[in-house]
Amino acid sequence: MSTQTRIDRRFAELKREGRPGLVTFITAGDPDLETSKQILFGLPAAGADVIELGMPFSDPMADGPAIQASSLRALTAGQKMRDTLDMVAEFRKQDQDTPIVLMGYYNPIYVYPNDKFLVEAREAGVDGLIVVDLPPETDDELCIPAAEAGLNFIRLVTPTTDEKRLPKVLQNTSGFLYYVSITGITGTAAPDVNKVHKRIELIKQSTALPVAVGFGVKSAEQAKALGAVADAVVVGSALVGAIAQNLNEDGTSTSKTVPAVLDLVGSLAAALRAV
């Protein structure tokens, strides 16, 4: 991509400020559209530097119980891809600077279909995509068309990505690289900070892209420890867990739902700003 994106600008700002960024994940439409909007619109002021907005899907195979449940809540509430794009467009009316990355699985994009999705995502103000079930061998399917549409395509690197595989993963990646800190699904284990540090140091020998660390980060202490070596820390399961813990018995939102999430974001942001 020849032009600088919001993601590029945000990571350049973080580098100038000498601090790691906070990347927050929520699922669009969880627990309902209006509550999800309130959380989304409040994230930048709470301290989020980049926002990952999950595209609800019925079979989120890489995700643990917390994010699976958030996707189910959103789908049950009627969330559609059009609603998710409209959320981003509405967000852009008040915030032109905070990057938004749509994260999820290929099926909801494929059935939209691809060409229409890329045009409408760009028009809405989406900055990048993370599509966890599209390997580099399928770059012609969505990755390259997304780049041509002006969207960053962000790849995952895992603890099992070896030196032979890494160049292939990096080939068409842009924006930042997402390092999965554990082997397994999201939110089910705590990362080993020392192992993550060593792995990121090796990855950085192969790319100038910023590296964000996610999967399993639940506390401010963990975020701070990982932020000492990563360019950003991604927190998702803890945030959707805060939503789940502050719902009525029937799964509807309460007066505590939005503040609980934003307060947690604030504590995570404060920890990372202290690195």
**Which helix (H) or strand (E) element contains residue 107?**
helix 106-110
Angle formed at CA 257 by CA 254 and CA 259, multiple of 5 degrees: 125
Closest-CA residue to 82 (of 106, 109, 43, 63): 109
Spatial separation of the C-alpha atoms in residues 245 and 241, rounded to whole Å: 6
The question of whether 52 is a catalytic residue gets the answer yes
Strand-pair partners of 239: none
Q: CB within 8 A of 113, min separation 6: which ones?
A: none
Spatial separation of the C-alpha atoms in residues 243 and 251, rounded to whole Å: 10
Of the listed 63, 127, 139, 231, which one is catalytic?
63
Strand-pair partners of 27: 54
The question of whether 17 is a catalytic residue gets the answer no
Per-residue tokens: 58: 């019925």
Q: How many CB atoms lie within 10 A of CB 116?
A: 11
Order across the sheet with 177-180: list the strands.
152-153, 128-131, 100-104, 50-54, 21-27, 232-235, 211-214, 177-180, 155-157
- Extract the runs of DSSP E, i.e. beta strands, from the chain: 21-27, 50-54, 100-104, 128-131, 152-153, 155-157, 177-180, 211-214, 232-235
Of the listed 8, 49, 52, 231, which one is catalytic?
52
Active site (catalytic) residues: 52, 63
